[in-house]
Amino acid sequence: MTRSASPATLAWFRHAELKHGRVCMAAFVGWLVAVSGLHFPGLISPTEGVSFADLSKLAPLEQWSAVPATGKLQILLFLGYIEHNSEWKTKPHYMAGGTPGDIKALTKFWDPVGFVSKLSPEKLERQRLSELKNGRLAMLGVAGCVLFGGTIPGSVPVPIAFPDTGGFVMPF
């Protein structure tokens, strides 16, 4: 028996794929920055005396553990705001005929000049496909670098010194 998914189900899958791809793109770049030792100048928390330089000397998951609780809360609240806008503020919803992955409520945040609105439909479609492909690649990159690169020495053949994480643990 052959079953076919409804358009709403396929839109839900595509939205989930785009969302997870975006998170993995940010995570992969963040991981590479964390293992490279690059950092902002100054303090991440003036009240607790934690500097960006102090954090850059730690392994990536230890860096997250060393971020003060208020910093973690700010990050989680911002991610919740993005999630809220993608699910409840986007009209029409992606499962009711809207575009999966489209967050109109936040467009002014990351496109204040309006470059996206000036694109031709063909170029916009090409860029959406590119984002989807880059997200898929980032998911593989996160799995390779974060899960395997830090736990199995020599498993990722790139000239980056992966810190020994002693096994992957959820960072919360």
CA 113 to chain CA mean position, Å: 23
pLDDT of residue 13: 93
pLDDT of residue 42: 94
pLDDT of residue 70: 92
CA 21 to chain CA mean position, Å: 7
pLDDT of residue 20: 93
Render each residue's pLDDT in the chain as its tens digit; 172 residues: 556 888 889 999 999 999 999 999 998 888 888 878 889 999 999 999 999 999 988 887 788 889 999 999 999 998 898 888 778 877 788 888 888 887 766 666 667 777 777 878 899 889 889 999 999 999 998 888 777 776 777 776 766 665 555 555 545 4
Which residues are within 8 A (CB) of 167 and not within 5 positions of it... i.e. 6 or more apart?
151
pLDDT of residue 158: 66
pLDDT of residue 121: 86
> Which pair of structure tokens corresponds to residue 171?
């960072």
CATH node for 7-149? 1.10.3460
pLDDT of residue 136: 95
> Which pair of structure tokens corresponds to residue 4?
């076919």
pLDDT of residue 101: 80
SS3 content of the chain, % helix, strand, coil (to 5): 60, 5, 35
> Which pair of structure tokens corresponds to residue 116?
């996206």
Each domain of the chain, given as residue ranges in start order, spans 7-149
